[in-house]
Copies of this chain bind each other. A is one copy, B any other.
Amino acid sequence: MIVYCVSVSVKHGCVDNFIKETSINREETLKEKGNLRFDILQSENEPGRFMLYEVYRSEEAVRAHKETYHYKNWRKKVAPWMACDRQGEKFLAIYPKEDEDW
């Protein structure tokens, strides 16, 4: 599995819009056969800070995701709300090992 941990900082006043658009992207991404998770987390101390936790079966699944309308539309919609550039880090999963545990 390939896991992206994406750190996002959102401008003051844009948090509700960001959550709404990201939840739409999440719903559509979960329908992709190559995606296993898409968690949306908000910092307790800094409400403008988010972590997206996205899990894909393969590099091919990641590429397919980046070609979807919902991903491209999300990028476009949230761009003006970013306080700084998104920081995405790519990881390989050691655990869990089984598909059904994701």
Contact = CB atoms under 8 A, between A and B. Distances in A.
A59 to B, nearest CB: 10
Contacts of A90: 43-45
A39 interface: yes
B3 A95 contact: no
A27 to B, nearest CB: 9
**How many copies of this kind of chain does the complex include?**
2
A19 B94 contact: yes
Q: Please give me the 4 A-B residue pairs with the lowest Cβ-Cβ distance, nearest first.
A: A41-B91, A40-B95, A40-B94, A3-B41
A15 to B, nearest CB: 10
A39 to B, nearest CB: 6
Contact of A91 (B23, B26, B43): B43
